[in-house]
Structure 1
């Protein structure tokens, strides 16, 4: 059991919890794209994993992030994960509501491929 500290929202990714990707946020950082994967666990915990992908291409950035997250080993699913651009990247309030279904498919495909490879190595 995780020891509670003043920052109770932090909970390490560990084998005793099953995590899934709930949302993915993208933000441009100069020539690169930051990808923040929001994870939830089976006990209602929340954890964000952030990385800056070495590319300006959003499709390659989400594939890169999905491989990183799936390689953690305790993240079992990315189904129904929503992909959106971060609030500071949108031009109107309507843009904030728009999901990018193509990027969601890219993220899920890369996640599932990596997860299958990790499982094969464990056999």
Structure 2
């Protein structure tokens, strides 16, 4: 029987990798909003972080998620992050493609403020 070549081990998510927020997905979960942030790094890695905000207001939910993500310490940027509702929340396929630019601005503003505060504390 022929031996198989050994498989290379998957590259673990390194704590030293710097991540950036690529997309933010919103979904209603009862009276709360669940926010899932899709993060990517320079090595092609993908990671999702989810948080359920203690509110039903989408603007407050994205601000809450931005504080959580920026506070992780190894997420460096959220520029050009797209905010969308998940497919379950969309009534048509076209709705799934629509970006919420007002929520994108809220997310980016809160992310940048929190990231600046984290960096000030590290100095």
Q: Aligned equivalents of 2:41 and 2:56: distance in 1?
A: 30
CA deviation after TM superposition for structure 1 residue 13, in Å: 5.6
Q: Which residue number corresponds to residue 14 of structure 1?
A: 15
Q: Which residue number corresponds to residue 119 of structure 1?
A: 119
Q: Aligned equivalents of 1:112 and 1:118: distance in 2?
A: 10
TM-score, normalising length: structure 2: 0.90
TM-score, normalising length: structure 1: 0.90
What do you get for the CA RMSD once the two structures are aligned? 1.5
CA deviation after TM superposition for structure 1 residue 91, in Å: 0.6
Q: Secondary structure at the match of 1:79?
A: coil
Q: Aligned equivalents of 1:13 and 1:64: distance in 2?
A: 25
Q: Which residue number corresponds to residue 104 of structure 1?
A: 104
Please say which structure displays the higher CA radius of gyration. Answer: 2
CA contact (8 A) 1:19 1:41 kept: yes
Q: Which residue number corresponds to residue 37 of structure 2?
A: 37
Q: Which residue number corresponds to residue 73 of structure 1?
A: 73
Structure 2: which 5+ runs fail to align? 1-7
Q: How many residues align?
A: 116
CA deviation after TM superposition for structure 1 residue 58, in Å: 0.1
Q: Secondary structure at the match of 1:27?
A: strand
Q: Which residue number corresponds to residue 26 of structure 1?
A: 26
Q: Which residue number corresponds to residue 95 of structure 1?
A: 95
CA deviation after TM superposition for structure 1 residue 94, in Å: 1.2
| CA displacement, residues 80-101 of structure 1 (integer Å, 9 cap, x when unaligned) | 0000000000011111110000
CA contact (8 A) 1:13 1:74 kept: no
Structure 1: which 5+ runs fail to align? none
4+ residue runs of structure 1 moved beyond 3 angstroms?
A: none
Q: Secondary structure at the match of 1:56?
A: coil
